[in-house]
Chain A
Amino acid sequence: MKRALPAVAVALLSAPAFAQGASPSADLLRTDQEAGRPGGRLVFALRSEPKTLNPVAAVDIPSKEVIGRLTADLIHIDRQTQRTGPALARSWSVSPDGRHYTLELRRGLRFSDGHPFDADDVVFSFGCYLDERNGSPQRDPLIVGGKPVAVRKLDPHRVALDMEQPYAAAERLFDSLAILPRHLLGKAQQEGRLAQAWGLGTSPAEVAGLGPFRLKSYVPGDRLVLERNPYYWKVDHAGRALPYLDEIVFLLVPSEDAQVIRFKAGETDLISRLNAENFGLLAGETTARRYRLEDLGPGLEYTFLFFNLNDLADGKLPAISRKQAWFRQTAFRQAVSAALDREGMVRLVCRGRGTPLSAHVTPGNKIWVNRALPPPAHSPDRARELLARAGFSWKEGALRDGAGAPVEFTIVTNAANAARVQMATIVQDDLRELGMQVQVVPLENRALLDRVFQSHDYEAALMALGSGDVDPTSEMSVWLSSGPTHLWHLGQPQPATPWEKEIDERMRRQLVTLDPQERKRQYDRVQELVAENLPLIPLISPNVLVGARAGLGNFRPAILDHYVLWNADELFWQTSAVPRP
């Protein structure tokens, strides 16, 4: 009763929106951004071909970029405010102990093929993600307190979610968990072949979602075309149905340099994740009036140097085991950190568009960054002092350890990423002042990952991680000593050091504490421990740099994924710049 009234009211108010598509009694979300004009096509370049359109199986970035435009979630994080808001769930309530959620779904919504959407689809979707047969990467975040979350249907428009223990970031769990159509995928899931469904060759008629766009066509090796979803459940504040754009075209353009050239030439309309030099190149062009570039400041990505602290089986890698005697000393890592010229890295690698880091949380994460931490200092003198106190000495300019062996090691990094190789070269030069002999070895990415994760056959490595979300929960796999990306020391049966133990405790505690202040305190302490003990030596965070053709309305890039297309349903072309069809 109470539910029906607002639905009808909204339906009456939004009556002008129904040219086609959403049924008259649909419960639509009204946005409050600038109202735009419908029409036009947007072209965006992908760095590699998507591997699948299946939200359950997708792991690579290009697949997720496309899938994100085709699907919708229950609760969505607004990329600009970084806070959660209603999406397919129009409201929800939480039990006092934080373990039970009741979500009220919007009524009258339809998938992009016209089939109605209801609670059965939600229960089905969670079942797919949690099914171990499908091996979905989305499964792990849904295991709370050791047990998978339980989703039940209460009635056709309400679902309940039960968790084993209170989960502080539960609302954020729902973001990007795409709701799947039971009428199209139910059979595949029953037969156990869901993970193979919706590969790239699938015909558009078999793919449906609740996102702003739906699949129109796919030309292998060239482009993927999406068209407007006539059943999309959002309208602008004037009541016009979203999205404005008729089509989005994803072009395959493998290298960043080629993307820059095409963007300059006007062949693509958006460019995302620019590196600083290309940004400078585009900014300096006389045709700069034809597009606008934005520097969004630090994002969530952090680059770091780390040493191999793994337990190496006796005798397998004796040279590295010997050097671990140096790497394990906190004073050694602190000395290395003190000697690094992060400002120089920002200047040379990011052309000034970057931030030096003292811990892993960047200033771009305004809610969670620990502002009390001192900025990193560049102090070779302090480095020398630390080394001297730790028992190192200098002979003929070369640093030697207590036993007289010269300190030398190699840093491996991804050869394809020129910025990382440059940073490693700067590290090499800085450490040479301390008398350390460092060699930079660029490796092919798969070889690098193999050495870091499998064979542990490396001495030091320079890599980067980028959280998907501002919430510390997204960093659990790195900081928990049992985590799969606890890079410097994988596969620990127990925390190897007291400070790792403390980090474990605090990360676990912040996961279940519902009080935001308490969570912040715990995470601040984690950042302090990282800055002091330096399992990863944070270097810099490059700014997020994006660009768009002039005349694109509602272009509001953000530092959360997807930087430029997160609000694809609101983008539109202003009158003077509707591009060629």
Chain B
Amino acid sequence: MSARSGPWGALAVLAAVHLAALGAGFLAPYAPTEQNRTLPYAPPTGLRFVDAEGRFHLRPFVYRLVERQGAGGAYDEDRSRPYPVRFFVRGAPDALGASAGGVRLFGVDESARIFLLGTDGFGRDQLSRLLHGAQISLFAGLMAATLSLGVGWLLGTLAGFYGRWIDAALMRSAELFLALPWLYLLFAVRAVLPLSVSPGQAFLLLVLVIGLVDWARPARLFRGVVLSARERNYVLAARGFGASDLYLIRRHIAPQTLGLLLTQAALLVPQYILAEVTLSFLGLGVSEPVPSWGNMLAALQRYHVLASYWWMWAPGLALVPVFLAYFALSEALQVRAGAES
């Protein structure tokens, strides 16, 4: 995905990922909170085309997993009966995560399960949790970036445009925000919050915290752009003609910041996704049973999971293409902004 191809390749990848997240209710074979207590840490179900007798099936199928007695955690496939993968199945409706009408892209008949990415310690399908968790992680990043850029743009533009004491006040508070050890602050905040915070409230709180803590960095960048834009000839000319501040900002200054806005957006979103993942990993974000890539990765803190169950790494691996796409997008936008200025 080279910068020369413009942002379209990266945008396509990002669109695909976000559409997958939005369509989690349809794409995921199971509800993210559905526990299968007889199948903890089951490995990914193998999709097969050739059965035990050597016959080829056009439609892929799976075998049922059975816990191996006495081996404490190993599974065997029950080869007596193949369960073909069916498409557009009507899943059991569930209060959390059922799509409209309860139709799911694929599934298998009852008593067998299709775990394309294995299960976690409660026997919950990792693929379903990955898709639903993407909603939290990806959109928390997007919303936090919007908040942070919005506040940062506003305050940076004001500081840069008006200068003098407004500039001084805003920039000193920006420095304060940059200096705070925000992680410890968050632990402190979490301790004083009331015990029960619903998952929805936790999500909003997360977005607010990540977005508001980090407005200072974009603010300083916007201030710099506005400072230089303010001194341009056409701005001085317009002012000479009696243009109001609002008109100047709207018509002349703001468009100068657009390029920066877009590139910053493309850089900040992955950082905020990572911030959400980190906070949920540490227990400060959404809590059980709602999945987020962060709290799914938290399971890896235990040595036996890290050493034995490689499919639990899936959320971490899923971050890689998302980040690569955002960085490629940012680079493409920077090249464009550079070409235009």
Which positions in A face B, CB cutoff 8 Å?
257-258, 260-261, 276-281, 283-284, 341, 344, 347-348, 351-353, 397, 408-410, 412, 415, 418, 421-422, 425-426, 428-429, 439-442, 447, 457-459
Contact = CB atoms under 8 A, between A and B. Distances in A.
Given A281-B308, A347-B37, A440-B287, A418 B195 contact: no
A415 B304 contact: no
Nearest to A275: B304
Contact of A447 (B122, B191, B198, B305): B191
Contact of A278 (B191, B289, B303): B303
A114 to B, nearest CB: 46
A425 B289 contact: yes
A425 B288 contact: yes
A429 B289 contact: yes
Nearest to A347: B37
Contacts of B73: 280, 284, 351
Given A260-B303, A352-B72, A441-B195, A426 B122 contact: yes
Given A277-B302, A422-B121, A397 B95 contact: yes
B287 A441 contact: yes
Interface in B1-56: 33, 35, 37-38, 40
B196 A428 contact: no
Interface in B76-123: 95, 121-123
B303 A347 contact: no
A283 B37 contact: no
Contact of A261 (B122, B283, B303): B303
Contacts of A341: 37
A281 B73 CA distance: 10
A351 B38 CA distance: 10
Interface in B157-216: 191, 195-196, 198
Contact of B123 (A257, A279, A348, A457): A348
Contacts of A426: 35, 37, 122
Given A281-B308, A425-B288, A426-B122, A257 B37 contact: no
19 contacts: A257-B304, A260-B304, A261-B303, A279-B72, A280-B72, A281-B308, A341-B37, A344-B37, A347-B37, A348-B40, A348-B121, A352-B72, A410-B196, A412-B195, A422-B121, A425-B288, A439-B198, A441-B195, A459-B195
B297 to A, nearest CB: 14
Contacts, number: 76
A277 B304 contact: yes
Given A425-B288, A439-B196, A418 B302 contact: yes
A257 B191 CA distance: 27
Interface string B117-152: 000011100000000000000000000000000000
A283 B303 CA distance: 15
A257 B196 contact: no
A3 B168 CA distance: 93
A429 B35 contact: yes
B304 A429 contact: no
Nearest to A348: B40
B339 interface: no
B307 interface: yes
A351 B303 contact: no
A21 B283 CA distance: 56
B127 to A, nearest CB: 19
Nearest to A257: B303
Contact-size category for B: 20 to 34
A344 B40 CA distance: 10
Given A428-B288, A457-B195, 7 more contacts: A260-B304, A281-B307, A344-B37, A348-B121, A351-B73, A408-B196, A422-B122
Contacts of A457: 195
Nearest to B74: A284
A280 B41 CA distance: 13
A278 B304 contact: yes
B38 A347 contact: yes
Given A257-B302, A410-B196, A439 B308 contact: no
Given A283-B72, A428-B288, A429-B289, A348 B122 contact: yes
Contacts of B283: 415, 442
B304 A347 contact: no
A291 to B, nearest CB: 16
A490 B243 CA distance: 73
B304 A440 contact: no
Contacts of B35: 426, 429
Nearest to B282: A415
Given A281-B308, A412-B195, A422-B121, A439 B33 contact: no
A279 B302 CA distance: 13
A386 to B, nearest CB: 23
Contacts of A458: 195
B303 A441 contact: no
A278 B198 CA distance: 33
B72 A429 contact: no
A458 B195 CA distance: 8
A439 B303 contact: no
A415 B35 CA distance: 21
B304 A428 contact: no
A441 B190 CA distance: 11
B322 to A, nearest CB: 28
Contacts of B121: 348, 422
Contacts of B33: 429
Nearest to A411: B195
Contacts of B288: 421, 425, 428, 440
Nearest to B72: A280
A348 B73 CA distance: 10
B188 to A, nearest CB: 12
A347 B40 contact: yes
Contacts of A439: 195-196, 198, 287
A379 to B, nearest CB: 16
A440 B283 CA distance: 11
A458 B196 CA distance: 10
Nearest to B287: A440
A428 B308 contact: no
Max count, chain A CB within 10 A of own CB: residue among B122, B198, B305: B122
What are the 3 closest A-B residue pairs judged by CB atoms, nearest first? A257-B303, A344-B37, A277-B304
Max count, chain B CB within 10 A of own CB: residue among A261, A280, A410, A458: A280
A310 B156 CA distance: 53
Contacts of A348: 37, 40, 121-123
B196 A441 contact: yes
A450 to B, nearest CB: 11
A278 B306 CA distance: 11
Contacts of B72: 276, 279-280, 283-284, 351-353
